[in-house]
Amino acid sequence: MRVFLFISEDGEGCGLAKRVADEGHRVLVFINNRDARKIGNGIVEKHPETGTLLSRGTLEKLLHPAPDCVVFTSGAFALEAVELRKKGYNVLCGQYASVSYQQTLMRTFGVATGESEGVDVCSTGWFNGTSFTGVVHSLRDVEMCDGGKGPRTSGMGITIFSLGKNKLYLEGLHKLIKPLTKLGYRGPISLEAVVGEGGLVGRSIIFSNIEYMIYPLLEIYKGRANDLLYMCATGILKNMDFRSHISLCVKFKLLYEDQVIGGFDEHNLKHIWLMDVDKQGDTYTGIGYTPFSVTAWGASVDKYSPLRDARCCVVRTIKNLTLGEVIYREDIGVKVYRVHEWLKTNGWINEEERC
């Protein structure tokens, strides 16, 4: 049994922590923000030091019991992550990069930046200290309402539509290997870019986004979450096998806090990632505005659409839940049909991949 320590600012990553614990390992969660410390109560084990703000003294106490892997679920504690790496701990994520630093990083190592028109694409890979593995390509839906309407949010859904080190990877993430190696970073990293007639233009680099980018990836990953985190942190992760190239994630938002959410069971919780939620007895309550996300993967059977299969699976999961006043998008994945065809026609992704 391994020991995992999750260090977060606002309770990010509780869904991932729960998955690792369900796989038979001990997981201790520390939440720094006082206002967010109820998140995960009754769902994950909180470290005894949760209740104090993170400081050098607190960090030393968090290392007891000694963790096999320390996971920073946001970039808020970059200095602490560097300190633990120097002391020999297996650290995942924990990198902060300002907007100006991201732009400089991309320009310096050959990723074009600036204004461009085209298709918005996000490429995510797991960096083991020297190379990428488990590379996936996705589209994000950030507008609050169906049809791409309403205010922009941090994200309402994401659809993985392609795998591997194709042209999207070679023109993007691949060029960041050298600086990432120098930084000593290990963990997932995403490059958001625009792909058009003029090529790939980078927009931003996302470090440590545990909650949003990883959940649809784990839906199609054949291995166990704890092995993935541990092997990447130790640098021995060399290969990742997937059951499909299609996966999607639908994010839910509450109109107001403290709503009871029902319908969870041992079967659908395999596809539900709890976020701003606590549990008392058998009752789950959304105590923040983003209570959970639902994921599904699409099977490629004969000529049937794997994307349609994934969307149907998400609908089935949602229908079994008892929801209050929530907002979620029912059209996550729809725009992939058009974008996927354009990328395939122009040689950016594998021609054999279909949606």
CATH number at residue 115: 3.30.470.20
Residue ending a domain, among 59, 93, 127, is 93
Q: Is a pLDDT exceeding 70 seen at residue 9? A: yes
Residue that the structure tokens 């290392």 belong to: 63
Residue 353 within any structural domain of the chain: no
Residue 147 within any structural domain of the chain: yes
DSSP states of 255-296: SSSSEEEB---TTGGGGEEE-SEEEETTEEEE-SS--EEEEE
Least confident window among 164-168, 195-199, 206-210, 346-350: 206-210
Whether 211 and 177 share a structural domain: yes
Whether 200 and 340 share a structural domain: yes
Whether 41 and 189 share a structural domain: no
Residue ending a domain, among 45, 74, 93, is 93
Residue 41 within any structural domain of the chain: yes
Whether 229 and 214 share a structural domain: yes
Residue 350 within any structural domain of the chain: no
Which tens digit of pLDDT belongs to each residue from 217-274? 999 999 999 999 999 999 999 999 999 999 999 999 999 889 999 999 999 999 999 9
Residue 83 within any structural domain of the chain: yes
* Whether the Cβ atoms of residue 328 and residue 250 lie closer than 8 Å to each other: yes
Residue 11: HSE in the Cβ half-sphere, 13 Å Cα cutoff: 28
Which tens digit of pLDDT belongs to each residue from 85-139? 999 999 999 888 889 999 999 999 999 999 999 999 999 999 999 999 999 999 9
Which tens digit of pLDDT belongs to each residue from 115-130? 999 999 999 999 999 9
For position 75, which CATH number holds? Answer: 3.40.50.720
Instruction: Specify the number of domains making up the chain.
Output: 3
Residue 352 within any structural domain of the chain: no
Q: DSSP H helical segments within the chain, as ranges?
A: 14-22, 56-62, 78-86, 99-108, 167-170, 177-183, 210-220, 225-234, 306-319, 336-345
Give CA–CA dist 277/39, Å, rounded. Answer: 5
Whether 175 and 234 share a structural domain: yes
For position 322, which CATH number holds? Answer: 3.90.600
Whether 84 and 103 share a structural domain: no
Residue 256, domain extent: 249-327
Residue ending a domain, among 93, 121, 146, is 93
Angle 327-331-334 (CA atoms, 0-180°, nearest 5)? 155
Whether 193 and 292 share a structural domain: no
Question: What's residue 324's pLDDT?
Answer: 85
Residue that the structure tokens 């958001």 belong to: 192
Whether 39 and 83 share a structural domain: yes
Give CA–CA dist 160/123, Å, rounded. Answer: 9
